[in-house]
Structure 1
Amino acid sequence: MTPAFDDLLRRARALPRGGRRAVLGIAGSPGAGKSTLAGELVRQLNGAGEPWVAHVPMDGFHLADAELDRLGRRDRKGAPDTFDAAGYAALLHRLREEEYDEVVYAPGFERVLEQPVAGAVPVPPAARLVVTEGNYLLLGTGAWARVRPLLDEVWFCVLDEEERLRRLIARHVEFGKSPEEAAAWVGRSDRRNAELVASTRGAADLVVPGSAVPGRSRPAESADRDAAP
């Protein structure tokens, strides 16, 4: 059964238990709609009252281009070893385990510059649920293996492959690449990353098709693990 968005809201709302902050992870291949789903969850759960849900993207842990140049990894930007995975895991541990008496600042990611920005995302003490999204939340190698135990649940976004590629190319064009450069990048670097991410789908708690997310006009592939909340 494909979950409706109201089902997703109820499931997310129930995650904080016993006075403890919960962390919900949203994984999926590049362009599958992770940010759209996370943003809509946060917006609707917070409503018009005091915000109790925060959004912390994994993309803030991209290594800076200068460091990627030093490491010789600039042409693979977006691959697992072009992120500070250990730093991301440390932030999740702090958000989940430490006392909630101060604002925790997470890094953001500036898409126009394609660079991380330190201290850009505040998580206030009132946040009882943190929604974090990124490609590699379910990856079981290296420092990424520290991430999954720190997440109460992980949902996996899927989208029709043709539509996913179309949106991904359009996003690269929007932020400065020519259509030809965008298509080449998606066919080279993003394709390899997407295949790796897709291989982790079976470890997700819930598979969310694009049709379950408001604003998604095209149907996504069927979900085979999307048990109702």
Structure 2
Amino acid sequence: MKNAVAFPHLLRARILSDLPAEDKADFLNRCEARTCEFPEVLLEQDVVPPGLFLVAHGRVDVVLTGERGEQTLLAHIGPGETVGEIECISRETCIAWCRTQPLTTLLFCPTAVVYEFLRTPVFIRNVASVFRSRMAHDNAVKALDQHGSLEQRLFLRLLTMCDGRDRVRANQAELAEILGCSRQSVNKALGRLRSEGIIDVSKGQVVILDPDPSLDELGAGSRDAALLKRG
């Protein structure tokens, strides 16, 4: 069965937006379908990739390894999203590792095929659009890290870390280390987000109930309490 028939939802992938229907099908059909039953490294940090991967089902984790071996989870990539497109086009090394979660299905598109589609201006625009959306997300994270409330920073990190079922498997100590604050502060922030109906917390995991709350409202209660206390 051809990929365009087996994975019809990928015809709506962002990287294929506004292409003629026959070109969308051609792109998918020229990819190699792969199913990873167990976690598997797709792209290695500091290694030039052989092409891009389009996620059909499951999830890919993007993890950065620092100079001292510390690992930072940068993003989760889900169905319809791609990894490796910028590096394979630029023929430069990957800036992070990309690892699959169990039972993840992907379509692998070799660099040579990607270059063929780059002859189409719309495809170039789509690649740029994907890259821009990632820059916008990174900028939002940096802005909140400097100016946002703890609740805002925590929620944005939870969104980055959540799996396909809107769950984050992390405890308060791990979240405190990521945010650079005390465990007690994280516990209070989790409690406020839970009281607002945005998350639910159980042992070893956080469940996101509202994936799109107003960021301006997150932490408003704690800021108001602080102002009253100072007043």
Larger RCO of the pair (alpha carbons < 8 Å, separation 6+) = 1
TM-score normalised to structure 2 length: 0.27
Q: Rg larger in 1 or in 2?
A: 2
TM-score normalised to structure 1 length: 0.27
